[in-house]
């Protein structure tokens, strides 16, 4: 996966630039910040998914079908992994 939202900034500037001239003036900064934030979030997702899958494998190997809330909380609190995404992934498995 790679960042893509920053590529929408030119369209945003075209549509909203007249009403918000700071978008035009700061376009490159806005693109840079959006790209860095998205890349950071993608790293968070990759790490969280990897850790969650490891926990699921360990629980499955033990014959367990449920994951403790503490695991979801640690993923959120320590790694910034969204709780709603943890719930979605667990429901799918």
Longest dimension (CA), the chain: 60
pLDDT of 93 over the 90 cut = no
Give residue 74's Cα distance to chain centre: 16
In the chain, DSSP assigns E strands to none
- Give the number of other Cβ atoms within 10 Å of residue 80's Cβ: 14
pLDDT (tens digit per residue) in 9-19: 999 999 999 99
C-alpha span between 17 and 11 (Å, rounded): 9
Predicted pLDDT of residue 65: 84
C-alpha span between 90 and 56 (Å, rounded): 8
pLDDT (tens digit per residue) in 68-85: 899 999 999 999 999 999
C-alpha span between 88 and 93 (Å, rounded): 9
């Amino acid at each position: 996966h790679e960042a893509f939202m920053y590529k929408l900034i030119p369209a945003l500037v075209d549509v909203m630039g007249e009403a918000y001239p700071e978008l035009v003036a700061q376009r490159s900064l806005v693109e840079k910040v959006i790209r860095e934030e998205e890349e950071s979030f993608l790293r968070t997702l990759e790490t969280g998914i990897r850790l969650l899958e490891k926990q699921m494998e360990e629980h499955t190997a033990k014959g367990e079908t449920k994951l403790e809330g503490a695991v979801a909380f640690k993923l959120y609190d320590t790694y910034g992994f969204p709780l709603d995404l943890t719930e979605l992934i667990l429901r799918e498995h």
